Structure 1
Amino acid sequence: MNILELSEQEIVRRGSLDEMRRRGIDPFPADEFPVTGYSDEIKETFTDDAPQREVSVAGRIMGRRIMGKASFLELQDSHGRIQVYVNRDEICQGEDKDLYNVVFKKLLDIGDFVGIKGYVFRTQTGEISVHAQQLTVLGKSIRPLPIVKVKDGVTYDAFDDPELRYRRRYVDLIVNEGVKDIFVKRTKVMNSMRNYFNEHGYMEVETPILQSIAGGASARPFITHHNSLNIELYMRIATELYLKRLIVGGFDGVYEIGKNFRNEGMDRTHNPEFTCMEIYVAYKDYNWMMEFTEKLVEKICLDVNGTTQVKVGDNIIDFKAPYRRVTMTDAIKEHTGIDITGMTEEQLRDAARSLGIEV
């Protein structure tokens, strides 16, 4: 990369990278670093009267306060953040103090990965921290991170631009609290759904992604060429047709959680590549499916949140089964005051216009 294309900070960090290598420190070691504790668990289980606990933690440097021979750094791991106390004479046992005076104070930056071995203690201000006895460089960050500051409940320099957040999701995950929880909850939702289906005896399957026809739904497909067969194939827009064939083949119930692809418009909540779950069960009707789905959603809420009540905006929604059942026409009448039963197409259009709905 041309040095003119780099920011001032990137140039400085590359210089620090080179200096580490000159000092015999590998800024990107391939060695294993054993982790024995995580920030949240360490803070939750610490008690002042317990025996001293030795821990090994790893993560990114998200803040530093350098005070002569002793410093504090804020370490962010996959579970949260914890303070680390670093003393020069503790991590540099011999006469050579360069690990602290040069590497720690000058060559390490916000965003760099480090490993810390030491013990857990409580500072004079009452904060549970790790007292570092050994510091290991695990990865040098070449690009600087946005520095988000929170003081008295007010956030400064927030990384909140929607365009940047979605284009650089990895940065969003690093600097914005709560974003990682979305990913964790999604995994819990998928696991809960799988467990529910499996417990009821339904089998998870995989069906072809490249298909000879674009079927199962009404959408514009992505088209690709198969060189060996010399034919055009479509990336699936739905899993429906192959799942139904499995039911025809004799399975009582099958489901698939996989990617579908639709070559159409996109926005923040619609992606041409998306995950879809479809389940097909033999010898059932729509009443059974409604009850089955109600219990599924209730179970997911309990597994993910520990309660069936979920706050959406200013509203509390309770997903506890059973749910109220209402027809589409009754729902329209309830919320608009218009009974569409027996209406012609033109009357339906007029009703929509009267409600300000684009026709």
Structure 2
Amino acid sequence: MNSDQQNIKANETQEDLSEVLQVRRDKLAKLQEMGRDPFKQSRFDRDNSSMNIKNNFESLEGQMAKIAGRIMSKRIQGKAGFIDIQDQDGRIQCYVRLDAIGEEEYSIFSTYDIGDIIGVEGQIFKTKREEISIKASKVVLLSKSLQVLPEKYHGLKDQDLRYRQRYVDLIVNPEVKQAFLTRTKALKALRAYLDERGFLEVETPILNTIAGGANARPFITHHNTLDIPMYLRIANELYLKRLIVGGFDKVYEMGRMFRNEGMSIKHNPEYTAIELYQAYADYKDMMEITENVISHMAEAATGSMKIDYQGVEIDFTPPWRRMTMEECVKEYAGVDFSKIDTDEEALKIAKEKGIEITPGMRRGEVINAFFEEFGEDKLIQPTFITHHPVEVSPLAKRNADDPRITDRFEAFANKWELANAFSELNDPIDQKGRFMDQLRKKELGDDEACDMDEDFLNALEVGLPPTGGLGIGIDRVMMLLTNSSSIRDVILFPTMKPIEASHKAEEQN
């Protein structure tokens, strides 16, 4: 088929669709003329659901029920018809007869379309084919669908359209709704785990005057009244540590973070993370919390600590493997940094191994680059990588035995970073030096480096007790628990390029 034929076919399809949409509007107009405007219905008194009826049929058989939902299929045969209606829990069949609801009501019922939302009152029974159903004595149109749902057997397959019209995706693809129900189960388990252990859930600002708490490029906005730039938070770390200074021993916050960076199957500009802080604890305590809470989430959401992700079994059962970053680099890159002491030696081996050199790069940053290049993609099963170099850990406490490294870890699974934690740096003098180093990097062109936060330094001078802190990327964990190949599959409304911009890009290509 040539391009002209394709255009003609597309135009014909659009015309046919427009006719169908007009028919639905005509039906609505007729109902309104009859005084039966569905949009004037303010409520429907439901007393049951599809799942409850199916799960408890033996005790409910013969009883009356009131349910409501969306028509997903319709089969009219003369004076009787079957429809399947879908509510939040699933689908159930309804049997509608002319002699049960009356001729006028049946005539109106016969005009209902797939996608319409109705209320049904009737008796619970089982058909000759043993299908649990409702024998309708009353059918009420609660909302008229003026659009056409995707066809049953093909569904909504266009991935871009699924993300843009998630409301349709949820209607026609049951597995999508199940993924988000799984997400909810996991998050409830996460909160319960922390609440039961004395953690207090708090809220901190999303709009910040300083972009701090992590190395990332922020979204910048402007406050008109104050006439100052403001930043959507890239992390909530520094505020939560202020609360530990203020006397709270265990706090956590789960919410949206914003990073003005690239988009991929693992990255969305806004994403959900949880950060928690515990006074008088260290990174080892955070390690225990991490493996326990993620395995607890997996079991609560899927029934097992072992999950199948894209054909690979991942076992979250504690304890997880532990190795230092230098050990990982030695194992997978064959370079032993315990024998490399200077920046010059590190840069030399980096050039030999093809590692990209950036301005002002130091030994610790070279170690981290080696890990990212050679180690990260080997970490399939849950693994803790510990003792990051101080150069890449501006907020972590130095290791007591080796001040070049920090008491920090990152948790990995399926090659992805899932969590980041450390014994928090509570030395205000050392912290100021770290901030100064971040400013040096910013001057060298690193637009992800942290800003100086004078108020946070003041909080540290007031006194931060020894503290363990942990951040978990919720969306990546959910990708694993729901066997989703893209982060967009676990975010209800992922960030999308406006349709107009997408069309322009296609035309230019």
- Where does the alignment leave 5 or more consecutive residues of structure 1 unmatched? 150-156
Aligned residue in 2 for 1:277: 274
Work out the CA distance in 2 between the residues paired with 1:29 and 1:273.
Answer: 38
Work out the CA distance in 2 between the residues paired with 1:65 and 1:289.
Answer: 58
Alpha-carbon contact 2:190-2:293 (below 8 Å) kept: yes
* Equivalent in 210, 221, 237 of residue 240 of structure 1: 237
Shift of 1:111: 0.4
SS at match of 2:29: helix
Aligned residue in 2 for 1:61: 71
SS at match of 2:40: coil
Shift of 1:72: 0.4
Shift of 1:52: 1.2
The amino acid of 2:68's aligned partner reads A
> Residue deviations 1:14-34, cap 9 Å, x none?
111111111111221342212
Work out the CA distance in 2 between the residues paired with 1:346 and 1:9.
Answer: 70
SS at match of 1:265: coil
* Equivalent in 91, 110, 130 of residue 105 of structure 1: 110
Work out the CA distance in 1 between the residues paired with 2:205 and 2:116.
Answer: 42
Shift of 1:159: 1.7
The amino acid of 1:109's aligned partner reads D
Aligned residue in 2 for 1:88: 98
Query: Does 63-72 or 204-213 show the bigger shift?
Result: 204-213
* Equivalent in 18, 24, 35 of residue 24 of structure 1: 35
Aligned residue in 2 for 1:120: 124
Runs (4+) of structure 1 moved beyond 6 Å?
A: none
Shift of 1:212: 1.0
> Residue deviations 1:61-107, cap 9 Å, x none?
01111100000001111111111111011111xxxx22212x2212x
Work out the CA distance in 1 between the residues paired with 2:47 and 2:329.
Answer: 57
Shift of 1:289: 1.0
1:226-237 equivalent positions in 2, closer than 5 A = 226-237=223-234
Work out the CA distance in 2 between the residues paired with 1:350 and 1:8.
Answer: 67
* Equivalent in 4, 9, 20 of residue 9 of structure 1: 20
Alpha-carbon contact 2:218-2:232 (below 8 Å) kept: yes
What TM-score, normalized by structure 1, do the two folds share? 0.88
- Where does the alignment leave 5 or more consecutive residues of structure 2 unmatched? 1-14, 341-345, 356-369, 375-509
Work out the CA distance in 1 between the residues paired with 2:146 and 2:292.
Answer: 49
Shift of 1:215: 1.1
Alpha-carbon contact 2:61-2:124 (below 8 Å) kept: no
Aligned residue in 1 for 2:413: none
Structure of greater relative contact order (alpha carbons < 8 Å, 6+ residues apart)? 2
The amino acid of 2:87's aligned partner reads D
Alpha-carbon contact 1:72-1:83 (below 8 Å) kept: yes
Aligned residue in 2 for 1:146: 150
The amino acid of 1:77's aligned partner reads D
Alpha-carbon contact 1:207-1:242 (below 8 Å) kept: yes
Work out the CA distance in 2 between the residues paired with 1:346 and 1:339.
Answer: 12
The amino acid of 1:301's aligned partner reads A
Work out the CA distance in 1 between the residues paired with 2:157 and 2:40.
Answer: 33
Alpha-carbon contact 2:71-2:84 (below 8 Å) kept: yes
Aligned residue in 2 for 1:40: 51
Alpha-carbon contact 1:214-1:221 (below 8 Å) kept: yes
Shift of 1:37: 1.6
Alpha-carbon contact 2:219-2:232 (below 8 Å) kept: yes
Work out the CA distance in 1 between the residues paired with 2:279 and 2:60.
Answer: 58
SS at match of 2:251: strand
Greater helix share, structure number: 2
Shift of 1:332: 4.5
Taking only the aligned residue pairs, the percentage that are identical comes to 46
Aligned residue in 1 for 2:262: 265
Query: Does 226-235 or 79-88 show the bigger shift?
Result: 226-235
1:164 paired to 2:132: no
Work out the CA distance in 2 between the residues paired with 1:332 and 1:85.
Answer: 66
* Equivalent in 329, 332, 338 of residue 334 of structure 2: 338
What TM-score, normalized by structure 2, do the two folds share? 0.63
1:307 paired to 2:290: no
Work out the CA distance in 1 between the residues paired with 2:210 and 2:293.
Answer: 32
Aligned residue in 2 for 1:180: 177
Aligned residue in 2 for 1:197: 194
Work out the CA distance in 1 between the residues paired with 2:326 and 2:308.
Answer: 28
Shift of 1:337: 6.4
Work out the CA distance in 2 between the residues paired with 1:352 and 1:104.
Answer: 71
Alpha-carbon contact 1:340-1:348 (below 8 Å) kept: no
> Residue deviations 1:221-264, cap 9 Å, x none?
22222222222211111101111111111211111111112222
The amino acid of 1:257's aligned partner reads M
Q: RMSD over aligned Cα, in angstroms?
A: 2.5
Alpha-carbon contact 1:35-1:58 (below 8 Å) kept: yes
Aligned residue in 2 for 1:154: none
Work out the CA distance in 2 between the residues paired with 1:15 and 1:132.
Answer: 26
Shift of 1:349: 5.0
Aligned residue in 2 for 1:74: 84
